[in-house]
A and B are shown apart, each in its own frame.
Chain A
């Protein structure tokens, strides 16, 4: 193979791109990771934190599949917290502040260590396609990198346009150029490209903040690692600080709304409802007298503080005044102003379940280009796209996870069926973010059992290495052993397992004191897994009832070339929607808003006829 010939080229080395490149390379595909600048690899363009509710579950899933995100977080974490500790284990999730530079360094080293992986510093300009199949990526350095599969993971770089007040400048993020030509290339390939908006808050000089005036938020006394491979976190935990906006700030912002790009019409695209700018917050929730602001360190040396809660695109002078009115920040100096960024994305209705575009064979999209937000959402798609790119090259079946298997699958299925960027749908076109409420199998999609859900799959495709597999097998075996002990040991006519299952049992807390259990010296993750399994076991049947019938429909495929117009009795609205979405399974089709159960039955009857004809034809030709 020549130097410029690869199996797989990944464009963009953000949180999606690195997982994609790493997974593909692990699976034996000769992979190139094309990035504008090597020191931008794994950059945290926004919040210097990984995880959070629902996102922490995704980070664990990426780790369970053999990805890098969890390991990097454990290596770079500054403050670890398990969120929702007071709530049930299904909705608990890890979150960590991370030293953004250490995180990058870890990732760069990990990628450099990965066999079959080459990092190329170049700006991708064009995707070369022949006969509907991806052939190569043409870069601005004049080189073509041939590939059978290409993963585009360009984040906010496609025609990125930043706004600070009336000022507008092109760029993928602060200090980096936009990728304008690649957008045009995707459009030439026939992909529909639309705009989304997101924003970031100002960064402060850490040495100019009066910490005495602030409330500290500390990490957990016993930090819980992200990765199933990490035994314990030993880095010293550092605090974040909390302050609040006030009337004066709200008045200032209100007085300057006529200079806010979001309200002057300068920004047309929609921002996310779950992460509004401070100017949006004071307009939409005018009755609130204050909003919480977290001051979060971006790196261990604590030179830069991320101002979580005041994302804004107001002009620089207003940002200066706002920060000076913030308690504890009266003397604070802004190092980088907050900005809003508009960027191109490809409405994800153009994707198949393996994240490959329907139009171009071998072209995969992952991360923000699919209309998502968040590092974890990006990483989740990245690892799936990388795996599926490699599978495609191997000529193997795609890996498509079910909604009952992973948050990652819930996300991809939602992207395919909810209609982000599809005109007649009338849903809010905002970047997609994961929430636990999106997962109908929430009680089984947990942070604690991500390994039991996914490591086997990661192993079977080749992303999970021997060390992880061995550790996993040991854990599985121990869980089995402990469960056997519990079901086999009866006290007062009831097995310990039954006792554990009962609400308000004390066994959950005292199990580690049990002499027999002590003797078997299980890891505490084993005890935890068994206790949680017992807690939820009785509820899984009910969870199943909530989604009854869904799984069977998910197994029923729809031919890619099905002509919905030809299905007699199908309602016009259903024909129109299904022709736009062109989904792969009846389960997916049933999840489009406005598609009724009767529509699905009518299609099923038609499909049966369709397959009959097909078989007839095949026999006639054969």
Chain B
């Protein structure tokens, strides 16, 4: 439903760009921005601010805020766009923290709908919006049907039935207390509700996030300058993406492209070679971007030029990489003869205390092995913690944890848990009418039903369960 009075948020990632745009529109836009962006923006006119986005409490990432004040914005309302070079982890965290603070996830086409209602776009454009809404509605229906056969729907339905059960008893006690009905005791209802809360906890714990499936994992290529990173990237992608040259520091910006592997897809990026001491401001900026991008990567391919006489520079820049999963890659192996290669590889492995994968971008040697190593590492990383120990292939096929929750689902489940906890407290205090309100909210949030449908459902249940009417 188009609701003009609240503040909506959506996160979009432009195709093949390593950049996330958080878009917020509505009366609480500035308030919302202040929750996640530093420095705090004022309530002045439209502005562009360079600052930082604050994620998960303490992590800060450079970002640019474009604030458009009503009516000078796309939607005609206060509108903010925060551009941040980042990945899915940041996206999820930002979205969740905004949703938790009262913003609402935007419906499909809702920004455009607002633009139309605020006279920012014309009728022809609005007709197109209509199509989008209808189409996405159809899409959602399909998605809903898919979910119906899925475990999420099954689980939420079971939980919602249990909530409705408690609600029925509670409401019957409020509306028909003067009837000759044996009501379930408050303690029993509290017991049932507590069980529901732990069901919801389990649901959250055993699910993976939809976004982590949809938003592609990032694979970074790192190494000292001129370690052959861009050449390797191009070889993996099978095309020219980076500007490659024998000069050091050819790659200054973070460059990205999508890579398809046997089991998953990922975003491959390479960035400026890592150095310990930047000589120019330009170098400094390139370093910042590179370190930040690598920090957020799921997998880092750490490249070392095997033909190099000395690896001390490589050893020192390795310290800059904080990623969990690092695959060491020996590059430029085509420059060495077989015998020399083996010797150097043994030395290399010994120096770094790791098993290097040997590749040559020119001959194609080892590229397939590298791809499958990336593949396996990503799959292992997307699995829930409990399954980490198992064989990756088996776990991905085993659907035990395949309840995928979107940010919205997660929000609904978290809020419902909170609602039910409050309901339990109110029940214990004897405030049945307030407990009922919390339960209705939980039910509504989980099943996405409108209020009046819930009323009818409650009455239906009461009349079928209890003999009321003097």
Q: B-contacting residues of A (Cβ < 8 Å)? A: 52-54, 83-84, 86-88, 90-91, 272-276, 281, 284-285, 288, 291-294, 308-309, 311, 414, 417-418, 427, 435-438, 440, 442-443, 503-504, 539, 542-543, 545-550, 552-553, 568-569, 590-591, 593, 596-598, 600-602, 604-605, 608-609, 612
Write the nearest CB–CB distance from A502 to chain B, whole angstroms: 11
Are A549 and B1 closer than 8 Å at their CB atoms? Answer: yes
Q: Is B434 an interface residue (CB 8 A)?
A: yes
A87 contact from B177, B450, B453, B463, Cβ within 8 A: B177
- A275-B469, A593-B452 known; A598 vs B134 contact (CB < 8 Å): yes
Are B116 and A545 closer than 8 Å at their CB atoms? Answer: no
B453: chain A residues at CB < 8 Å are: 593
Write the nearest CB–CB distance from A459 to chain B, whole angstroms: 30
Are B6 and A88 closer than 8 Å at their CB atoms? Answer: no
B469: chain A residues at CB < 8 Å are: 272-276, 281, 309, 311
Are B437 and A442 closer than 8 Å at their CB atoms? Answer: yes
CA distance A1 to B189 in the complex (A): 66
Interface of B is mostly: helix
Q: Is B184 an interface residue (CB 8 A)?
A: no
B126 contact from A292, A549, A608, Cβ within 8 A: A608
CA distance A504 to B171 in the complex (A): 23
What is the 8 Å Cβ interface bit string for chain B, positions 447-469, against chain A (1 contact, 0 not)? 00011110110110001000111
Are B180 and A291 closer than 8 Å at their CB atoms? Answer: yes
Q: Is B5 an interface residue (CB 8 A)?
A: yes
Chain B minimum-CB-distance residue to A587: B1
B133 contact from A84, A86, A436, A601, Cβ within 8 A: A601
Are B467 and A604 closer than 8 Å at their CB atoms? Answer: no
What is the 8 Å Cβ interface bit string for chain B, positions 163-206, against chain A (1 contact, 0 not)? 00000000101111111100000000000000000000000000
Interchain residue pairs with CB less than 8 A apart (25): A84-B174, A87-B430, A88-B434, A274-B463, A274-B468, A275-B469, A281-B467, A309-B469, A311-B469, A418-B452, A427-B456, A437-B436, A442-B433, A443-B437, A503-B429, A503-B431, A504-B429, A546-B451, A549-B1, A553-B3, A568-B127, A591-B450, A598-B137, A601-B113, A604-B2
Are A609 and B467 closer than 8 Å at their CB atoms? Answer: no
A54: chain B residues at CB < 8 Å are: 175
Q: Is B100 an interface residue (CB 8 A)?
A: no
A569: chain B residues at CB < 8 Å are: 130-131, 133-134
Are B440 and A597 closer than 8 Å at their CB atoms? Answer: no
What is the 8 Å Cβ interface bit string for chain B, positions 293-317, against chain A (1 contact, 0 not)? 0000000000000000000000000
A88 contact from B175, B433, B456, Cβ within 8 A: B433
Write the nearest CB–CB distance from B172 to chain A, whole angstroms: 9
Chain B minimum-CB-distance residue to A612: B123
Are A435 and B452 closer than 8 Å at their CB atoms? Answer: no
Q: Is B35 an interface residue (CB 8 A)?
A: no
Are B1 and A292 closer than 8 Å at their CB atoms? Answer: no
Are B116 and A605 closer than 8 Å at their CB atoms? Answer: yes
Are A436 and B174 closer than 8 Å at their CB atoms? Answer: yes
Q: Is B470 an interface residue (CB 8 A)?
A: yes
Write the nearest CB–CB distance from B76 to chain A, whole angstroms: 13
A597 contact from B1, B131, B430, Cβ within 8 A: B1
Write the nearest CB–CB distance from B74 to chain A, whole angstroms: 17
How many interface contacts (CB-CB < 8 Å) are there between A and B? 152
Write the nearest CB–CB distance from B126 to chain A, whole angstroms: 5
Are B174 and A87 closer than 8 Å at their CB atoms? Answer: yes
Q: Is B156 an interface residue (CB 8 A)?
A: no
Chain A minimum-CB-distance residue to B1: A597
B431: chain A residues at CB < 8 Å are: 88, 503
Task: List 6 additional A-B contacts (Cβ < 8 Å) besides A292-B470, A569-B131.
Answer: A87-B433, A275-B470, A437-B174, A503-B431, A608-B117, A608-B126
Q: Is B432 an interface residue (CB 8 A)?
A: yes
- A285-B467, A442-B433, A542-B441 known; A601 vs B2 contact (CB < 8 Å): yes
Chain B minimum-CB-distance residue to A292: B180
CA distance A47 to B433 in the complex (A): 28
**Closest CB pairs A-B (n = 7):** A597-B1, A549-B3, A292-B180, A285-B467, A275-B469, A601-B2, A273-B463
Are A597 and B458 closer than 8 Å at their CB atoms? Answer: no
Residue with the highest number of chain A CB atoms closer than 10 Å, among B113, B134, B430: B134
A503: chain B residues at CB < 8 Å are: 429, 431
- A291-B180, A593-B453, A601-B113 known; A308 vs B470 contact (CB < 8 Å): yes
CA distance A469 to B437 in the complex (A): 34
A539: chain B residues at CB < 8 Å are: 434, 437
CA distance A308 to B432 in the complex (A): 28
B113: chain A residues at CB < 8 Å are: 601, 604-605
Write the nearest CB–CB distance from B131 to chain A, whole angstroms: 7
Chain A minimum-CB-distance residue to B4: A552
What is the 8 Å Cβ interface bit string for chain B, positions 138-174, against chain A (1 contact, 0 not)? 0000000000000000000000000000000001011
A436: chain B residues at CB < 8 Å are: 174-175, 433
A276: chain B residues at CB < 8 Å are: 467, 469
Write the nearest CB–CB distance from B104 to chain A, whole angstroms: 8
Which residues of B from 412 to 459 have beta carbons under 8 Å from A?
429-434, 436-438, 440-441, 444, 450-453, 455-456, 458-459
B107: chain A residues at CB < 8 Å are: 597, 601
Are B1 and A601 closer than 8 Å at their CB atoms? Answer: yes
- A53-B175, A437-B455, A437-B459 known; A543 vs B2 contact (CB < 8 Å): no
A598: chain B residues at CB < 8 Å are: 1, 133-134, 137
Chain A minimum-CB-distance residue to B131: A569
A91: chain B residues at CB < 8 Å are: 174-175, 432-433
Chain B minimum-CB-distance residue to A606: B130
Residue with the highest number of chain A CB atoms closer than 10 Å, among B133, B173, B438, B467: B467
A612: chain B residues at CB < 8 Å are: 123
Write the nearest CB–CB distance from A115 to chain B, whole angstroms: 40
CA distance A457 to B393 in the complex (A): 70
B178: chain A residues at CB < 8 Å are: 52-53, 83
B130 contact from A274, A548, A605, Cβ within 8 A: A605
Are A84 and B131 closer than 8 Å at their CB atoms? Answer: no
Write the nearest CB–CB distance from A557 to chain B, whole angstroms: 14
B463: chain A residues at CB < 8 Å are: 273-274
Chain B minimum-CB-distance residue to A294: B470
Are B450 and A548 closer than 8 Å at their CB atoms? Answer: no
Are A87 and B432 closer than 8 Å at their CB atoms? Answer: yes
CA distance A440 to B434 in the complex (A): 12
Write the nearest CB–CB distance from A448 to chain B, whole angstroms: 13
B430: chain A residues at CB < 8 Å are: 86-87
Write the nearest CB–CB distance from B179 to chain A, whole angstroms: 8
Write the nearest CB–CB distance from B89 to chain A, whole angstroms: 29
A53: chain B residues at CB < 8 Å are: 174-178
A553: chain B residues at CB < 8 Å are: 1, 3
Are A90 and B433 closer than 8 Å at their CB atoms? Answer: yes
Write the nearest CB–CB distance from B59 to chain A, whole angstroms: 30
Q: Is B129 an interface residue (CB 8 A)?
A: yes
Are A437 and B117 closer than 8 Å at their CB atoms? Answer: no
Are B137 and A547 closer than 8 Å at their CB atoms? Answer: no
CA distance A311 to B438 in the complex (A): 37
B467: chain A residues at CB < 8 Å are: 276, 281, 284-285, 288, 291
Are A549 and B6 closer than 8 Å at their CB atoms? Answer: yes
- A87-B174, A274-B468, A276-B469 known; A546 vs B440 contact (CB < 8 Å): yes
CA distance A292 to B129 in the complex (A): 59
Are B444 and A546 closer than 8 Å at their CB atoms? Answer: yes
A83: chain B residues at CB < 8 Å are: 177-178
- A87-B177, A596-B137, A602-B133 known; A547 vs B451 contact (CB < 8 Å): yes
- A54-B175, A443-B433, A591-B452 known; A600 vs B1 contact (CB < 8 Å): yes
CA distance A604 to B451 in the complex (A): 21
B133: chain A residues at CB < 8 Å are: 569, 598, 601-602
What is the 8 Å Cβ interface bit string for chain B, positions 1-33, against chain A (1 contact, 0 not)? 111111000000000000000000000000000
